[in-house]
Structure 1
Amino acid sequence: MTTLTTATTLDVPGARLHYELRGSGPLVVLVAAPMDATSFAPLADLLATDHTVLTTDPRGINRSTVDHPDRDSTPVDRAADLAALIRHVDAGPATVLGSSGGAVSLLALVERAPELVTTAIVHEPPLDELLPDHADLFDRTEQMITTYLTGDTRAAWLQFMAIGNLAIPDEVFELVFGTPREGQAAADEHFQFAHMIRHTVRFRPDVDALLAAPTRLVVGIGEESTGQLCDRTSRALAGLLGIEPTLFPGDHIGYAEQPDAFAVRLRETMGA
């Protein structure tokens, strides 16, 4: 069942953010990067029965436009955007689920505005900086970006899969990544490779600031993500924070592929 959704925009320095609100009750924010609000819609509907749910497109992606498309989007930029949104809707502080690049944005938010976040559920952040082989990962990431910018999008996605240790059937890869994208999808893909990935994977959390914050910290990992890069980075982060990871249904995008099961685990985690 689809919940009534209110969609509008908020002007912030350098960008106009598209955001959506559903339901009523305590505020829950669902955020990713580069994935947009659409990927959270089924999960948001499930949570909106007893929560106010805020979702958003990260700056530079889909409906969140930027003043200068040739400038990079950093986790600190996106954290400032989240802080502005939470303050604007005036329903916080919030429980925030951040996944993938959105998890990195969430860490930057807790470091800079912990009063806005009661519980931070950091789901599979690609924090390459925390791994012993980070120099090699950085080199491979730069090669991937160069490959993409030369126009070979298919090869760039193959490199992306290899770096992340992600395995998908050949026919699925060809269907999704085998041919160039068009329109907004092409623009979003370009922004991701050219202006988001580098700063996201090179972000190093301020562990002291995170531990000093009043925010409850949860590190989430997909039950099906074993051996993948974000499984490794998430476990490294949990180790630095001195906490055990919490397993969630599915893999890196379990919130989109298994929203019903994910919602059950998320509710358990929020109520713990």
Structure 2
Amino acid sequence: MTTEHRTVPAPGADLGYDVHGDLSAGVPLFMFGSPMEASEFAELAAQFADLPVITYDPRGTGRSRRTDAADRTTTAEHADDLRRILADLAVPAIDLFASSGGAVNALALLGSTAPAVRTAVLHEPPIAEYLPDRDVVSATTRALSELYRTAGFGAAMAKFIDMVARSGPLPDSYPTEPGPDPAMFGLPAVGDGDALFVLNRDTTAFVPDLEALRAGPARLVIGYGAVSGEQLPGRAARALADRLGSAATEFPGHHGGFAAPDRGGDPVAFAARLRNVLGLPTIDGDR
């Protein structure tokens, strides 16, 4: 499969994205996350060699370099970036697979105008609005910014990982509880400015426009991991699906179930499930 790299200018950034395959060979599948870069979808994309696949680096990561001095990116900016890429692609129809923060950005996109999107599979968007521990999650994300400022990237990221990996609702005391040792996750004590992107409060605090999503032309599929379903992103996905009046769809594995095997994922099994959800034929290697 051939790959073409493209760049789209946007206010404050140059957006880099890749077209894998021939755009005229079928309805493209746009895969993205946040803060995951395009490279993190390589194994999943390889399972869709019969389709044109689009991947991109969200602004502030990889090849999508900032041209401004901002130290964070809002959900609205991410949605606008996606809109610009869709406009640059100029395809009549496209399907989306968006994971984690990328799924939140997709919700913002689909809550406005995205007429080309046919089906959007949104895997574990970690929005807290419909969770019983919403206020605790909000307080914790505020505390993460302060922790980053006072103790560095490693401490803040370790606490963030612990928050999203906890099973079940967070206790009221959680925002002020000490986080785990960053060394447990191989994290440094300090980091660069892009860390603020990862710890963006907009992601968990985003409130989708449910009425617009229900009325929009795109078919929405809200997914959660079979292993991670009781963790914050999985709980959030099921709560969102319930508010939209649908049942959430189970996918193999954890929050990153589509990732490479050395990162605990199974892209072959995940792709088989995704193909089924999208109504695509199975191919050799599907389970």
| Offset at residue 252 of structure 1 (A) | 0.6
2:76 equivalent in structure 1: 76
TM-score after normalising by structure 2: 0.84
In structure 2, do the counterparts of structure 1 residues 249 and 18 end up closer, same or farther at CA, with 3 Å as the change threshold? Answer: same
In the alignment, does 2:194 pair up with 1:188? yes
Aligned AA for 1:174?
A
CA contact (8 A) 1:83 1:116 kept: no
Judged with a 3 Å threshold, the aligned counterparts in structure 2 of structure 1 residues 248 and 202 are, in CA distance, closer, same or farther, namely same
Counting only pairs closer than 5 Å after superposition, residues 191-230 of structure 1 correspond to structure 2 as 191-193=197-199, 197-230=200-233
CA deviation after TM superposition for structure 1 residue 269, in Å: 0.5
User: 1:129-181 deviations in whole A, cap 9, x for unaligned?
Assistant: 222221111111111121112243332123213321348xxxx9736433247
**Equivalent in the alignment of 2:235:** 232
Deviations 1:241-264 (A, max 9, x none): 111111111111111121111111
Quote the Cα distance in structure 2 between the aligned partners of 1:29 and 1:144.
Answer: 31
Partner-residue secondary structure (3-state), 1:178: coil
1:156 alignment counterpart: 156
Q: Deviations over 1:25-83 (max 9, x none)?
A: 21110010011101001111221x22111100111112111222425312221111111
Give me the whole-angstrom Cα distance separating, in 2, the residues matched to 1:200 and 1:15.
20
Kept in 2: contact 1:60–1:69 (CA 8 A): no
Pair 1:42–1:6, CA change in 2 (3 A) = same
Tell me the distance in 2 between the aligned counterparts of 1:134 and 1:74: 20
> What is the aligned partner in structure 2 of residue 44 from structure 1?
45
| Equivalent residue letter for 2:41 | F
Give secondary structure in 2 for the equivalent of 1:66.
coil
Q: Give, in whole Å, the separation in 1 of the partners of 2:65 and 2:151.
A: 23
RMSD: 2.1
Q: Distance in 2 between matches of 1:91 and 1:174?
A: 46
Q: What pairs with 1:166-177 in structure 2 (closer than 5 Å)?
A: 166=166, 174=183, 176-177=185-186
Structure 2 counterpart of 1:104: 104
- In the TM superposition, what is the alpha-carbon distance from 1:187 to its structure 2 partner? 4.3
Q: Is the 8 A contact 2:103 2:123 kept in 1?
A: yes
The amino acid across from 2:9 in the alignment is D
Structure 1: unaligned runs, 5 residues or longer: none
Conserved 8 A contact 2:71-2:196: no
Change in CA separation of 1:176 and 1:260 when aligned onto 2, cut-off 3 Å = same
Q: TM-score when scaled to structure 1?
A: 0.89
Q: Which moved more, 1:205-214 or 1:81-90?
A: 81-90
2:271 equivalent in structure 1: 263
Q: Distance in 1 between matches of 2:187 and 2:45?
A: 31
CA distance in 1, matches of 2:250, 2:139: 30
Contact conserved, 1:86 with 1:93, CA < 8 A, in 2? no
Give the one of 4, 10, 17 matched to 1:12: 10
Match of 1:26 in 2: 27
Structure 1: distance between partners of 2:103 and 2:266? 19
Q: Which residue of 2 aligns with 1:85?
A: 85
Letter in 1 for 2:248: P
Q: Helix, strand or coil for the counterpart of 2:129?
A: helix
Higher helix fraction: Structure 1 or Structure 2? 1
Runs of 4 or more above 6 Å deviation: none
Percent of pairs with identical residues:
37
Counterpart pick for 1:242 among 231, 245, 252: 245
In structure 2, give the amino acid aligned to 1:42. Answer: E
Count residues with an aligned counterpart: 260
Match of 1:130 in 2: 130
Where structure 2 has 5 or more consecutive residues not aligned to the other structure, the ranges are: 168-180, 260-264, 281-287
